[in-house]
């Protein structure tokens, strides 16, 4: 199985060497593609100097996680990849992990996506964010089995965060790439919803493990306005995710926008007196309202099969 791994970077000089070295040390051959979102540090220099075997795509601007991955996915598909491994810049794989994931997909034709167990800050512990947001909701049987010492070889799971996924290349031709409406946050959950809509199946493979450090580039202390913008960006992504759920009607989308974007935040303001949070909700709702026509268009598009958002015909 020909595996291409995509790492989207933004000021990732602290972590990129470890991520790429882990792919280089993998027991299963893996072609690395680095998509750099206009880093201002030495990320690209490190890739060029120490990993000349990796494909480096310089986006020229900060396109965010999803659009950056789309550039790499399109390159991998045009290069004839059988499978695509998505890997965060602050994550690394064990030498066995890629081979374990690829072997699973070859042996289990009914599954389209497979995830390793996400660990953090080292291999001895499950990543707490992944556990609370995904494993407790979508794979409680794994958690109970782990406590009882009877872990199965794999577990069907609705989805898990995209810090490490191995997907058959055909998945992207059937479902498309990440929706460019999402800049950061929620884009992987949107794709998970589309997997389910199109009947794709995902598995968790506990024996295969990666470490996700959950690290971010340092940034100066934010002003009140910058904090407001950051909170608004997260809330906008949550609203987009709600509105884009496949099969939603126009009336249902309007009701979700009113409820999630206005009524609930107003109730929270009365209870918690967090004016900044209410303003962030309001800004997010106004932005989504201005994008409502495009959101409707993308919702209808994503409900149909196709390699959406990947521009595979480009050279």
Identify whether residues 134 and 164 lie together within a single domain.
Answer: yes
Specify burial of residue 256 (Cβ count, 10 A radius: 0-12, 13-18, 19+).
Answer: middle
Q: Kindly report which listed range (76-80, 82-86, 150-154, 249-253) carries the lowest average pLDDT score.
A: 249-253
Residues 6+ apart with CB under 8 A from 147: none
pLDDT digits (tens, 9 = 90+) for 163-208: 999 999 999 999 999 999 998 889 999 999 999 999 999 999 999 9
For residue 64, pLDDT over 70 is answered with yes
Query: What's residue 80's pLDDT?
Result: 97
Query: What's residue 34's pLDDT?
Result: 98
Query: What's residue 264's pLDDT?
Result: 80
Identify whether residues 175 and 234 lie together within a single domain.
Answer: no
DSSP line for 215-251: -----PPPPHHHHHHHHHHHHHHHHHHHHT-TT--HH
Domain boundary among 182, 212, 242: 212
Residue at 312 is within a domain: no
Block residue for tokens 């993308």: 298
How large is the angle between the packed helices 292-302 and 224-243, nearest 10 degrees? 40
**Encoding tokens for residue 54?**
């990796």
Residue at 281 is within a domain: yes
Q: Which residue has the higher pLDDT, 248 or 40?
A: 40
Residue at 201 is within a domain: yes
For residue 248, pLDDT over 70 is answered with no
Domain boundary among 212, 245, 261: 212
For residue 28, pLDDT over 80 is answered with yes
Identify whether residues 76 and 207 lie together within a single domain.
Answer: yes
Identify whether residues 263 and 169 lie together within a single domain.
Answer: no
Q: What CATH number did the domain enclosing 21 receive?
A: 3.90.550.10
For residue 259, pLDDT over 90 is answered with no
Percent of the residues in the chain that have a pLDDT greater than 70, as a whole number: 99
Domain boundary among 191, 212, 233: 212
* Mean pLDDT, rounded, of the chain: 93
Q: What is the mean pLDDT of residues 267-290?
A: 87
Identify whether residues 208 and 234 lie together within a single domain.
Answer: no
pLDDT digits (tens, 9 = 90+) for 1-12: 999 999 999 999
Residue at 310 is within a domain: no
- 118 φ/ψ angles, rounded to the nearest 5 degrees: -85, 120
Identify whether residues 21 and 154 lie together within a single domain.
Answer: yes
**Encoding tokens for residue 291?**
């994008």
**Encoding tokens for residue 15?**
């972590």
For residue 252, pLDDT over 90 is answered with no
For residue 253, pLDDT over 80 is answered with no
Q: What is the mean pLDDT of residues 70-77?
A: 98
Residue at 219 is within a domain: no
Q: Number of structural domains, the chain?
A: 2
Identify whether residues 133 and 265 lie together within a single domain.
Answer: no
Identify whether residues 187 and 272 lie together within a single domain.
Answer: no
Identify whether residues 172 and 284 lie together within a single domain.
Answer: no
For residue 245, pLDDT over 90 is answered with no
Q: Kindly report which listed range (28-32, 138-142, 247-251) carries the lowest average pLDDT score.
A: 247-251
What is the per-residue burial (b if ≥16 Cβ within 10 Å, else e) of 103-139? bbbeeeeebbbbbbbbbbeeeeebbeebbeebbeebb
Residue at 82 is within a domain: yes
Identify whether residues 186 and 235 lie together within a single domain.
Answer: no
Identify whether residues 79 and 11 lie together within a single domain.
Answer: yes
**Encoding tokens for residue 70?**
């789309």
Q: Which residue has the higher pLDDT, 251 or 289?
A: 289
Query: What's residue 315's pLDDT?
Result: 65
Torsion of Cα atoms, 279 then 284 then 286 then 290, to 10°: 160
Q: Which residue has the higher pLDDT, 73 or 217?
A: 73
For residue 61, pLDDT over 80 is answered with yes
Q: Please, where are the H alpha helices in the chain?
A: 16-24, 43-50, 64-78, 97-107, 128-130, 136-138, 140-148, 169-175, 187-197, 224-243, 250-258, 264-272, 275-290, 292-302
Q: What is the mean pLDDT of residues 76-84?
A: 98
- Distance in angstroms (rounded) separating the CA atoms of residues 158 and 139: 8
Residue at 45 is within a domain: yes
For residue 87, pLDDT over 90 is answered with yes
- Structural domain including 264 reads 224-302
Residue at 292 is within a domain: yes
Identify whether residues 39 and 143 lie together within a single domain.
Answer: yes
């Amino acid at each position: 199985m020909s595996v291409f791994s995509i790492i989207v970077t933004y000021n990732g000089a602290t972590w990129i060497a470890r991520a790429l070295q882990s792919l280089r040390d993998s027991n299963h051959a893996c072609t690395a593609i680095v998509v750099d979102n206009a880093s201002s540090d030495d990320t690209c220099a490190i890739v060029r100097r120490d990993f000349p075997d990796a494909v480096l795509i310089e986006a020229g601007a900060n396109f965010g996680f999803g659009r950056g991955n789309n550039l790499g996915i399109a390159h991998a598909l045009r290069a004839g990849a059988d499978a695509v491994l998505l890997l965060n810049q602050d994550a690394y794989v064990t030498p066995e992990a890629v081979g374990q994931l690829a072997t699973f997909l070859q042996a289990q034709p009914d599954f389209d996506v497979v995830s390793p167990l996400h660990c953090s800050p080292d291999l001895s512990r499950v990543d707490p964010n992944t556990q609370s947001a995904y494993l407790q909701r979508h794979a409680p049987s794994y958690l109970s089995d782990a406590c009882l010492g009877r872990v199965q070889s794999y577990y069907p799971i609705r989805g898990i965060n995209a810090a490490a996924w191995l997907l058959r290349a055909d998945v992207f031709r059937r479902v498309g790439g990440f929706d460019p409406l999402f800049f950061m946050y929620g884009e992987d959950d949107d794709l998970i919803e589309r997997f389910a809509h199109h009947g794709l199946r995902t598995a968790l493979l506990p024996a295969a493990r990666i470490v996700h450090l959950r690290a971010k580039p340092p940034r100066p202390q934010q002003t009140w306005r910058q904090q407001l913008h950051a909170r608004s960006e997260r809330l906008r992504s949550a609203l987009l995710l709600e509105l884009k759920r496949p099969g939603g009607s126009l009336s249902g989308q309007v009701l979700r926008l009113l409820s999630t974007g206005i009524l609930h935040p107003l109730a929270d303001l009365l209870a918690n007196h967090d004016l900044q949070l209410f303003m962030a909700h309001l800004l997010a709702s106004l932005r989504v309202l201005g994008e409502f026509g495009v959101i409707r268009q993308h919702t209808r598009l994503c409900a149909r099969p196709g390699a959406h958002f990947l521009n595979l015909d480009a050279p």
